[in-house]
Amino acid sequence: EMPAERWHTWEPLLPAPRAFALQVTRRLDVCRPQTRGLVEAAAVLGVHASLASAAALADVEDVISAVDEAVDVGLVQIRDDGLRNVGFVHPLVRAAIYEQLGPARRVQLHVRAAGLVDDQGAALRHRVLVTAPPDTGLADELEAFARREARAGAWAGAASTLLEASRMSADRERREHRLLQAVDAMIGAGDLIHANSFVRQAVGFPAGPLRDATMGYLAVLSGRVGEAEALLHAAWEQCDPAADPDVAAVVAQRLALHGVGRLRGGEVVEWARRALELAVPDDPVRVEAQALLGLGLSWQGRLQEGVAAYE
């Protein structure tokens, strides 16, 4: 029922099958306008939402009566924490309600939601859903948020945000750079299947250290040793550590990881130390390099140094 490209987005909001959606909309159609408004607002906010936020978004005053009717027809359920949060009985119910919203109503709700929610990531997602690319300012905000997600180790969140930043970028170089960063974050999240589907686009990008390092990282975790070796060393040869230490630190850390896969303690130590010299203090690459350094030292028989590195 769907175009193939919809499956190739990152964490897509997929629609419910038509037969199921018809059942849901029939239940929605018997509801009073206030109940319908509350349920539609909740669908825009997510599978689970704050009842207060949904009521404010829908401008519903008699919240209890609206929730009672929505529960009665089997659209939502109240969670165990009292009346603070409301959730859909199944994610497909939420998808069916969201899909039946007209474009104008959807835009109106997302615009209002962006100003209501406290979470910055949620606010950015609402803005993305009502913004036609390109939008350079929004792309920059998304990239900055993705960096914060990465520092916290939230790689899946960083990946989805960077994909949107890429889509919103007007400049081709920035668009490609952000897509490569998104693929790198997907690999960090352990989603090699999605990373493989997106890296096919990257094959056609101009050669460069970030492109080769990202593809080499995927090759390392996919067990393609020869390909990883060639790509990562090509990435290092293209690096300029003085001009772009961030990318050079990434390449060095990936080479250290490649050394782990080949059980070569000396290479792990060499490349981990280069990554540590190049990475700034709050860079996740630095933390990963520190972990690899202790492992490499222990493989060289330098157990006390390895333990000290971990400490």
What confidence score (pLDDT) does residue 142 get? Answer: 98
What confidence score (pLDDT) does residue 12 get? Answer: 64
The continuous run of DSSP H or E covering 77 comes out as strand 76-78
In the chain, the amino acid numbered 136 is T
The region of weakest confidence among 104-113, 194-203, 245-254 is 194-203
The continuous run of DSSP H or E covering 49 comes out as strand 48-50
What confidence score (pLDDT) does residue 83 get? Answer: 81
Helix axes 284-299, 265-278, angle to 10 degrees: 150
Residues 56-74 have pLDDT tens digits of 999 999 999 999 999 999 9
Of 9, 289, 3, the C-alpha closest to 159 is 9
pTM of the complete model: 0.90
Pairing, β 85-88 against β 48-50: antiparallel
DSSP state of 76: E
Instruction: Kindly state the tokens that stand for 66.
Output: 């609206």
The continuous run of DSSP H or E covering 85 comes out as strand 85-88
Mean pLDDT value across residues 45-50: 93
The region of weakest confidence among 38-42, 201-205, 266-270 is 201-205
The region of weakest confidence among 165-169, 190-194, 214-218, 253-257 is 190-194
| Sheet containing 48-50, strands listed edge to edge, beginning at the edge strand earlier in sequence | 48-50, 85-88, 76-78
d(CA 37, CA 79): 20
The number of angstroms, rounded, from the C-alpha of 110 to the middle of its chain's C-alpha atoms is 19
Residues 214-270 have pLDDT tens digits of 999 999 999 999 999 999 999 999 999 999 999 999 999 999 999 999 999 999 999
d(CA 156, CA 255): 23
